[in-house]
Structure 1
């Protein structure tokens, strides 16, 4: 069965925490016989920070970040029995949804896959005329990255026919112990990109304790923290490629996971980067 998936990026986790989630899900589907094509725009320098080459189990189509290129790849949805538009693609999301679903065959299964349901639902509630809100009733299914009953109920109220959370999992082929790496030596480490509804909680649970425990070594990974005021015992290492995630999680004495505020308010929505 052919599956057309329109997402942010499969090959790059740069400013794209959903990459590891996509990879695990789609590889598992490929092993079950699905023929998958992943369409991703060339935006935010993601192609300059690739973590992996296009995998053997999935055809990857990278298109220019232009409306013309978007419309061209959207037409390829007509070839698939299952058509998926993910949230947070990062370029003309509303237009992409409209073009992809309009091009899809009438018999195709049409899915909106929300990898950040708390943020999406906040946008929908604030904008009664939001294009996604108008489109929900025409889609067959909404899948979400976590969220639990609050997210399911909210999507149903907004007009979704059905909403099913699909949680991530630990794949032993991806997540496994590796030897410690001196680059990641620390008493406590945190990996996460700098986002508005994450920053305050990172300050409270990570940076403030670091100020009080000056004799301990803290390690901060992720994009966007370069101009953040940090105490001397916090080492900032920037973007951490997925190839280094196991070493990052194996080496420190402890690794901290911090749910964003919107996730904490909307039921069980664990971070996409499993450790």
Structure 2
């Protein structure tokens, strides 16, 4: 298939979770014989932190202004089998209008931020990447989040056909690696700073760090404020590119996943970090949310923490027990959560004729 995407970014992994997911999916699609053209507005904050310049077997089109690229986008759409607009695409409305006018491709919207989208709607706020007709004109709406989010995309935004397309990992990029002393930690965490994650991060990492001065804790990410409550045994790595993630995870006895409030509240929204760490063979501890057990078995493949006591208990586990948990999670990830697996699911959704899709939805209901 020839697939055109209008997205936030694939060229820079700085401060966003979209880029790594798209890279894995695009590589997997290429391996399976498909071609992707990705349109990305060339904004300064991503340009200054760019860590990818071309798509394997596809094309990355960076542009300064939508007007300058409209003709090229029309040409790409005329040749496309499927065309996708994503959440937080800076030109989502213009690209969506152009896409919906193109007769040849399947018209797709992919919301990689569904709980945030729905939270804004609940608060009566405008969503910049969704127009006044909602999602009613798209042939297919994909959601990074499953569960009740799918029903809300139908009822609140008029989506006619909805399906989840969850996070994933490319095991060629994220795999067991040699530990690095600079990343050594008893408990680590990768994540861009977010105020709505801070309370959980304080409970599951900062409070244990205060109680366990003999242990070493490590945070990697971007946009952390100057008043962040650091302790002497919490160390910091400013923005870790994906190429460094395997070494980071390999250097941790245990790594932490913290879900943003809107996503935890909605459930069924696994962070890509879960699959990355598992593929690298590192034991995981996570906050809890509905649907987590669909992706990993709590207690067997992942540790779940409701508060600091659970985090401290996890840190007390032996290396052998953590290795056992990590091994089980890696097995599950390689079987069910790779980019190749998601690419197959993605293509199957694109290739399902509308009548079959309606019948499938009816049987699910």
Query: With structure 1 as the length reference, what TM-score do the two structures score?
Result: 0.89
Task: Supply the distance in 2 between the matched residues of 1:200 and 1:96 (Cα, whole angstroms).
Answer: 37
2:3–2:35 Cα contact (<8 Å) kept? yes
Deviation at 1:122, TM superposition (A): 1.4
- Cα 1:169–1:214, aligned 2, differ >3 Å: closer, same or farther? same
SS at match of 1:169: coil
Deviation at 1:70, TM superposition (A): 6.0
Q: Which has the larger radius of gyration?
A: 2
- Cα 1:239–1:268, aligned 2, differ >3 Å: closer, same or farther? same
1:110–1:141 Cα contact (<8 Å) kept? yes
Across the aligned residues of Structure 1 and Structure 2, the Cα RMSD in angstroms comes to 2.1
1:49 alignment counterpart = 49
Deviations 1:35-70 (A, max 9, x none): 210111112521222223313222101111x35346
The answer to which structure has the higher helix fraction is: 2
Structure 1: gaps spanning 5 or more residues: none
- Cα 1:123–1:94, aligned 2, differ >3 Å: closer, same or farther? farther
How do 1:75-224 and structure 2 match up within 5 A?
75-79=74-78, 80-89=80-89, 91-98=90-97, 100-102=98-100, 104-127=101-124, 131-132=130-131, 134-145=133-144, 147-158=145-156, 159-224=158-223
Q: How many residues align?
A: 270
2:280 alignment counterpart = none
Deviation at 1:169, TM superposition (A): 2.9
1:124–1:132 Cα contact (<8 Å) kept? no
Deviations 1:113-136 (A, max 9, x none): 111110011123334875446131
2:153–2:162 Cα contact (<8 Å) kept? yes
Deviation at 1:77, TM superposition (A): 4.8
2:254 alignment counterpart = 254
Deviations 1:57-116 (A, max 9, x none): 22101111x353464554345322211011123x34444433x434x4223211111111
* Residue range with higher mean Cα deviation, 73-82 or 150-159: 73-82
Structure 2: gaps spanning 5 or more residues: 278-365
Query: With structure 2 as the length reference, what TM-score do the two structures score?
Result: 0.69
Deviation at 1:199, TM superposition (A): 2.4
SS at match of 1:4: strand
SS at match of 2:269: coil
Deviation at 1:257, TM superposition (A): 0.8
